[in-house]
Structure 1
Amino acid sequence: MQNFKNHTRYYPLHHFIITPLTIIYFIWSLSNVFTSWGTDQLSGELHGLLGAIILLILPLLARIYALKNQDRTIRLEMRQRYFELTGESFLPKEKKLRLSQIIALRFASDNELVVLIEKAISGGMRSKEIKQEIQNWQEDRRRV
């Protein structure tokens, strides 16, 4: 069962293989540029560094795109849930909440969601505090 202590997810291929390898390749390429400074090999090493920079940016962009899309989906999900629970638009509440708070609130069960929203707004709770307040954790194993 998912809860506050175990809800963080890592995607091994991304977090432990692709990203570390691109960082190692970038550092290695940068080192090659410095060691070849003032030699005939500098041009080739700069070319390699440019490739390393591109490869370093690609997994970061892929992650950013996925997270931005997920954030949009979470906002839509919260708007729908709030409307189903209260019959009112979530937009006035949403404007008073930070995105990190909305993301944290999505783990709350329907029974505690509305109360936690009010508490988050009035108390300026951080996302970690919101997650710790949740009694009935709503699992989400499909997130990015």
Structure 2
Amino acid sequence: MSQSDQNLKNHAKMVPAYHYLMTPMLLLPSIYLGYRVLVDFSFAGLVIFIFSVGVIFVAFFARWFALGVQDRVIRLEEQLRMEKLLPEELKQRIPEVTTEQMIALRFASDEELPGLVSKALTEGISNRKTLKQAIKNWRADHQRI
């Protein structure tokens, strides 16, 4: 995908090595080990199964924590952007903009950001998808993982 052709339909990022390779590599052996514990119980088998489930949790939380950090960075970036672009009456309301709203509004062009922030706050729109659908001039974000 080129740097300019990101839009609502194709902005979600899939990492093939993570989603299609690593996830099955962790899940399938754990399922098999769980099955083996059920049909032919042994303490050693149970320990290995518990360890494999722990590895899945580590992988899941590592991804989840990284996304949480990215959300915080996006929030900071968008707060700075809003301080620069919003009219004075909306600048006072920046603390009211939720993280979910900021994550969606990062795709809005500089020109339409004030209108969308106002709309999100006055109409109480907090759903990411709804806000993204309201964006007319998409501003690509190629940094999100």
TM-score range, shorter chain: 0.7 to 0.9
1:21 and 1:140 mapped to 2: Cα distance? Answer: 30
Pair 1:127-2:128 in alignment:
yes
Q: What SS class does the counterpart of residue 107 from structure 1 fall into? A: coil
Q: What SS class does the counterpart of residue 112 from structure 2 fall into? A: helix
- Greater shift after overlay, 4-13 or 15-24? 15-24
1:90 and 1:48 mapped to 2: Cα distance? Answer: 55
The 1:136/1:18 distance shift into structure 2, 3 A limit, reads same
Write out per-residue CA displacement over residues 89-122 of structure 1, whole angstroms, 9 at most, x where no aligned residue.
8574333x33222100010011011110111112
The 1:66/1:90 distance shift into structure 2, 3 A limit, reads farther
Can you give the 5+ residue segments of structure 2 that lack an aligned partner in the other structure? none
Structure-1 residue corresponding to 2:141: 140
Number of aligned pairs?
A: 139
Structure-2 residue corresponding to 1:63: 63
Structure-2 residue corresponding to 1:100: 100
Pair 1:79-2:83 in alignment:
no
| Contact 2:87/2:114 (<8 A) preserved | no
Can you give the 5+ residue segments of structure 1 that lack an aligned partner in the other structure? none
1:143 and 1:12 mapped to 2: Cα distance? Answer: 15
Write out per-residue CA displacement over residues 45-93 of structure 1, whole angstroms, 9 at most, x where no aligned residue.
1111122112211221221121011011101111110111137585743
Q: Tell me which of 8, 14, 17 is aligned to 1:13.
A: 17
1:42-53 equivalent positions in 2, closer than 5 A: 42-53=42-53
Query: Could you say what the CA RMSD is over the residues aligned between the two structures, in angstroms?
Result: 1.8
1:86 and 1:137 mapped to 2: Cα distance? Answer: 18
> Once the two structures are aligned, what percentage of the paired residues are identical?
35
1:108-127 equivalent positions in 2, closer than 5 A: 108-125=108-125, 126-127=127-128
Q: TM-score, normalised by structure 1?
A: 0.88
2:92 and 2:33 mapped to 1: Cα distance? Answer: 48
